[in-house]
Structures are given as C-alpha cells and as structure tokens.
Structure 1
C-alpha cells in the first residue's frame, strides 16, 4: 500500500521540491494551500489539492480527513500558534516535520549544533509579530513546541535549513549573483570574498524533510546545509563554471565600497560573521547533499529560463562602477 504525505504549502519553492521528492520516492501526495498560486502538479493524478488557510485549525483537520496522511511536512508554519495547532491535529501520524530555520539559533558559534547551540528566546509579542526581525524567535519557539509535543508521544521533528537556493527561488538572492556573472565582466564582491553564509540546495532540503519524517527521532532537530560550504567568492566561481562565464571577481573593502556610497550589507548573501551549521546528525540518518557543482548547474540552467534577475537586491551598477574606478587607481 502506498504511503500518503500531506505537504502544507507545496507550490512555490521548498514545498514544490518536497512534493517532487516525495513523488520520486513512491508517495501519493496531498497539498494544503490557499490555491493562490499556479499549481505545478495540476496534471499529476498522484497529487491532490486541498484548498485552505494553514492558519485555520478547521482547514488542517479537513486536510487530514481528506488525505489520511502517514506523514505531514509543514513548510509554512511561521508563528508558534501554527505549530501548536499542527502538532495537535496531526498527533497520531507516523511523522510530522516542522520546517524551522538556522535563524532559530541565538549564539554566534562555528558551527551551530543541534542540542548545544542556544536558541532564540520568544516573547508573547514576538510570537504574534510577522516582521523579519522576529523570524528567528518565532521559528525557535516552534522548535520548542515540537520538542514538548514529542515528550507527549507525538512523532514530531524539526528541520533547520540555512539559506536555501536552487530552481524556483522566489527570494532571488542567488539570482542577483547569477545575473551579475552572466551580465558583467567585472563583479564587485563585498569584503575579501571569504565571508561564509552556509547555504542549502533546495532538493537536499526536500530529501532531508522526507528522511526526517521516515527515520528521524521524535523531538530531534536536524540542521540541513551543503556538506561542502562555499565562501561568497567560491560561490561566484561555481556560478561562473556552471554558466561557462569568466568574469573578474573584484573584492572591495568597506573603504572602497564607500566610494560608491555602499556598505557590505548592501549585497545579498553577505554576512560579516560566519554562519555554519553542523549537518552530521542528518547525515547519520543516511541523508546526502548534492555536490555543489551539480546543484549550481541546475540552478543556473533554471535561472536562464526564468524571469528572475535579483534586481530587488541590486545596490546599483552605477555605484559599483564608482567602486571599480577606485579599485583601478589603487
């Protein structure tokens, strides 16, 4: 008998790849979402769609009755109340997986480890806020709810991705850098190019969610990120290799950037202090990550066919040209 997975979300990015991974591994899949976006699985008879708002307990219960899922993967729980309701509604499934975040960690440690690195606190006010500033707090509180549910017998786990990249990435953070590599002979990189913000290829996140549902320990959290972490400059090199391009990567100090009225934080995927997650616990379950050159080749290929260019992250090419002019005089 084929197992059924319910994916809360499922059409946009992580959810979309999760549905594909589940299908590839023999599951029938149901998706719960509001139906506001184009359904990439509309013609696949192995996928059913339950329309509803995941913040509604009634919608969750309707989806459960309709799908009768063996496992549930919750991609769009952004407030602690969402998680609390879900672990109650799905208390008797074989596996409930909450998509948390590497942002749930409070301490700047290298690497950040499950069960060791402290989590962000979460006040009552933060728990109901929806701003970017409280994202990590809310995700951390969701983790704690999962842990408490597991103590009460719920087969619930949390998966903490770092920055996710890959095909259909609506955030366009990596699209900015791909577009720069494809469009310009010289690409300005903030700092010395050696800053490290751990990233996770989206197909690997999807397989991690399935594996956590199948084999994860209730009450456990699992970090997910590329097993080979790349610096920003190495990331651009990987993009160039995948794209068949050969731009000059130009590191620019804070002083050099100031000539263009820019700061390092004006560039996407820059982080002054390294962010690196220990992924050994997930690997111990049999999870593997895609080699970065393969992941980047797929990402660049999809970027070429998409209309995304990361322009919302663009610090301004004219400003960069002023920086490049300063660099030439040094």
Structure 2
C-alpha cells in the first residue's frame, strides 16, 4: 500500500497518523471541513479535500475524487457513519476505524479483543440502544463506539470488506488539545506538593499518540479483516508513578522552571478529600476501578510501543513549548490548599 485516505487528519491522533504515513512513504489525502489549521498545507505529498464526513454525499464525492489503498476513519462518532464508510470505501485494501477502549462493557482486567492464537474469549462490548446510537453526549460515547465496531464486523463478515478496528485507551502526547495530561504536568511544574486521590495506586491505561498512529498503520498493513486491536502503553504506571515520571522529565527539560521536578505526592482518601469539598472523580485520569487493555494481539503484528520515559519526555517538552495548562480540569487549588492544611495537622 502506498496511498491513504484519512478522514480527519489535522488535529491530535490524525495529525500524528499523517506524519506516520508520510514517514512510511505514503501519499495522503485528508478529508475534513477545514475548520482547523492544516499542519500539512505546504507538503505536496498531502492533498486536502474539503467536506463534512456526516454528509454521505460529501464522503462519496471525496472517495470518487481520491486515490487510496488504505482508509483511516478518525472521526466516526455514530455507528451509521461506520456503516456508510464501509460501503463507500468497500474497494479499499484496508478500512481502519478508530474505536475506543470505552467500547468495553465489562469491568475486568485486562480487557481483551479475542481471537489471538486460537483464544476466543473477549470482553463484552457496551450495548447500544437506537437512542444512544444517534446521541452525541459523553455518556453514550462508549456505547456508540461499540456499535460502530459491530457495524464494522458485519461489513467484514457479510460483504467481505477488509475492515479492522483499533481501540485506544486514554491517548496522550504532543498536540493533545484535550489537555488531560497537561493538567498533571502543570501541577508538577508549578507546585511542590501535588494531591493524588486515594493511595496513588489507581491505574488507567494510557496510550502514547505516536504509538496509536503506528498501530493504525500496522493494522492496515498486517491486520485481519473483522478483527479489533487494543492499543496502549506496554508498560503501565499508577497515577502516582505517572506523577513521578513527569517530575523526572521536568528535571531533564531545558525549558522547565528551575525547581521543577522537586515534588511531594500527598495522598488523600475520599473522606479526606470531602473535607475540602473534593472527590476522587474531580481529578482527571483518576478512575476507581483499573482500566487495563491487553495489547498482545497488536504486538503480535510486529507493532512496538515507545518506551514510557521517552514518550513522557516528548509530552513534557511539548507542554512546556505550548500554552496548554489543563486548567479546565482544575479541581480548585484553593480547596487543595485547605485540604493540605488539614492533612498537615493529622
């Protein structure tokens, strides 16, 4: 394969996917409305086609105008969009849908896609009602992604489309407009005491963005039709360990404040947090039950993950060069100070 059609392609994961494809000698067409800055505007290997992916006519017209071996669907948020795309691009050598670890409907560790080396056990997916399928709220995100997976499996089984799903967990890294990790980097950079809810051993599996991009390419080239592939860091860390890695990276960053990297982690139980009107759920990337994805199936295709320390250093360096601070996730520093004062008296 040497040509790709990327639905999306200018923001976070899509941006890194296009860079990954270019690094592997693909010619790339990106299809989107053009409402965000195109970082590839001056690259003659990248063609931009303007259109709305929710408009079936726009998508079909773009397909007719474009050359592609592989199609990467970065922004399918409703299952009907997957059904449409697998018909429009049924002639592609590969159609890869970006699903989500949120598609899993059971809390178990690890969450498995099934069908690796004869292993057929798989974690159940979220159910999706007709009403949820056309919703656009965060509460139905996992259900909609799961139904998109089911639509993809049907296209592969019933119509022979070489369609595959990639399920990332929480994605972090350079250019992350969600600013989830930025909140924690900013906390560690700006304060010498950082509150971590619980005992610090919470685990929410994360995936470095460049690894997600490479996973998408590898699945297009090597994956099996009708299969799903989890993607996430091969080494997991607890929330407290993540703070420690961030501190180490800030200590090595050229643009960090002089005292960055010197941080004390302060644990706070739910009862202690409540004294300052805080709760564990007020902290982004905190999750009471661990969320862990099995990534062995993807690794069996030859995919490799970036070492955690290296991935975090790139993320920290990018944060320091940006104006992102994750402040929208701030549970309230004044409340934290009040909590710290109480904890200091215990």
TM-score band w.r.t. shorter chain: over 0.9
Matched, 1:246 2:285: no
For 2:74 and 2:343, the matched residues in 1 are separated by 44
Aligned to 1:289: 305
How many residue pairs are counted as aligned between the two chains?
Answer: 329
Partners of 1:96 and 1:324 in 2: CA distance: 51
Distance apart, 1:66 and its partner CA: 2.2
> Which position in structure 1 is the counterpart of 2:156?
150
Give the alignment of 1:180-219 within 5 angstroms: 180-219=187-226
Q: Distance in 2 between matches of 1:156 and 1:221?
A: 9
1:285-305 residue CA offsets vs partner (Å, 9 max, x unmatched) = 000110110000000000011
Aligned to 2:136: 130
Aligned-pair distance for 1:255? 1.5
Cα distance between partner residues in 2 of 1:225 and 1:29: 25
Matching of residue 301 in structure 1 with residue 317 in structure 2:
yes
- Consecutive unaligned residues of structure 1, counting only runs of 5 or more, are none
Give TM-score scaled by structure 1 length: 0.99
- Structure 2: tracts of 5 or more residues without a match: 115-121, 252-260
Query: Is 1:316 matched up with 2:322?
Result: no
Q: Provide the C-alpha distance between the structure 1 equivalents of 2:219 and 2:278, rounded to a whole number of angstroms.
A: 42
Once residues 224 and 217 of structure 1 are traced to their aligned partners in structure 2, the CA distance between those partners, rounded to angstroms, is 16
Question: For each residue in 1:244-276, what CA deviation from the matched residue of structure 2 results, as whole angstroms up to 9, or x when unmatched?
Answer: 012111111112111211000000000000000
Contact 1:4–1:67 (CA under 8 A) maintained in structure 2? no
Distance of 2:268 and 2:229 partners within structure 1: 36
Q: Distance in 2 between matches of 1:134 and 1:282?
A: 26
Q: CA RMSD in A?
A: 0.8
**Equivalences for 1:1-330 in 2 at 5 Å?**
3-115=2-114, 116-151=122-157, 152-244=159-251, 245-330=261-346
Q: Distance in 2 between matches of 1:122 and 1:111?
A: 22
CA positional deviation for 1:62: 2.1
SS of residue paired to 1:29: strand
- 1:64 shift after superposition: 1.5
Q: In 2, Cα distance between the equivalents of 1:138 and 1:205?
A: 20
Per the TM alignment, residue 102 of structure 1 is displaced from its structure 2 partner at its CA by 0.3
Distance in 2, matches of 1:320 and 1:67, equals 54
Q: Which runs of 4+ in 1 moved over 6 A?
A: none
Deviations 1:159-216 (A, max 9, x none): 0000000011111110000000000000001111110000000000000001111110
Distance in 2 between residues matched to 1:306 and 1:83, nearest whole Å: 34
The answer to whether the Cα contact below 8 Å between 1:21 and 1:207 also exists between their aligned partners in 2 is yes
Cα distance between partner residues in 1 of 2:92 and 2:174: 30
1:65 Cα deviation after fit = 2.0
